[in-house]
Amino acid sequence: MTKKFKAAIIGSGNIGTDLMIKILRTAKHLEMGAFVGIDPASDGLARAERMGVPITAEGIDGLLAMPNWNEIEFIFDATSAKAHVSNYEKISKFPGKKVIDLTPAAIGSFLVPPVNFNELQDVPNVNMVTCGGQATIPMIAAVSRVAKVHYGEIVASIASKSAGPGTRANIDEFTETTAHAIEKVGGATKGKAIIVLNPAEPPLVMRDTVFTLSEMADKQAIVESINLMVAEVQKYVPGYQLHQEVQFEEITAENPVFIEGLGKVHGLKTMVLLQVRGAGHYLPEYAGNLDIMTSAALATAERMAETMIESSSK
């Protein structure tokens, strides 16, 4: 029998509920131990209760008071940046718990599964950056594997209907956290992030545009690196794909571009156009921005669990 670890999800909104359903339907090494909210009337808590998952509407304090708290090894925080700071302060008093943060709080180490999981698998609190970060940083990292990236810029366009109150309240944190992760994880010297809430009806799936300005390099090598990275992301987000072929433009030393913080820069400009369609577990398929967050968080926990199982069998 496959060993399973109990997991708790804090946050009974769309992201938390989708993650719960993913764990119940698809997880190999995780099982639901608790679903936590603060609104007793939320659809997520009602759904969890119908599915036999232990629930509390008393937030983090309710979770700590649950009889199976000591059995829970993985905790996903799908609340808000501000709430996560308070939640982790209380959770950190209990050694051994693995915390996976889906908010832009960024008090834990940034983690993008196909890029830097091996460096952070033993860290007690990892941050899943943002939806835009999960979608685009793998592309910047793919270019970085081939050439030094001076500048990375991403534009994440999501359906307005998929941006709930948590997303809207954290727009500033989204741009700041994503830009920082473009540098720290993606390997760019300078990063910038923009988010666009698209009000189109019917709602459009998530689209991301990634620009890099790097040293001159073999264009085919960059394309191959990008294709390999896309395949890695598709292992846990099947709806992740290139929307068009990778495009290039050579910026000459005679006609450099000015980038704030870097000055005049030249080299190879690479543009990657992405589309992210959700799996439709709880959220609509157009909400690929939310689906990539829950999918990345689950993939991270599953790989951590596999590592823990391998270590215990040695």
- The separation between CA 252 and the C-alpha centre of its own chain, rounded to angstroms, equals 35
Determine the topology of domain 131-285 in CATH.
Answer: Dihydrodipicolinate Reductase; domain 2 (3.30.360)
**Which tokens sit at 166?**
């948590």
DSSP tag of 67: T
Ranges under pLDDT 70 in the chain: 1
Q: How far is CA 102 from CA 44, 84, 250, 276, in A?
A: 17, 9, 37, 18
pLDDT at 1: 58
Residues of the chain with CATH 3.30.360.10: 131-285
For residue 4, which amino acid is it?
A: K
Three-state SS at 111: coil
The whole-model pTM stands at 0.95
Tokens of 16: 């938390």
Active-site annotation, residues: 131
Q: What is the dihedral of CA 136, 278, 26, 123, to 10 degrees?
A: 30
pLDDT number for residue 167: 79
Dist. CA 157–CA 19, nearest whole Å: 22
Amino acid 313: pLDDT:
78
81, amino acid identity:
A
Cis before 202 (ω within 30): yes
Domain spanning 5-128+292-312: which superfamily?
NAD(P)-binding Rossmann-like Domain (3.40.50.720)
Residue ranges, CATH 3.40.50.720, the chain: 5-128+292-312
CA distance 158 to 7: 29
CA separation for the pair 61, 119 (Å, rounded): 32
For residue range 139-175, list pLDDT tens digits in order: 999 999 999 999 999 999 999 999 877 778 888 888 9
- Amino acid 224: pLDDT: 98
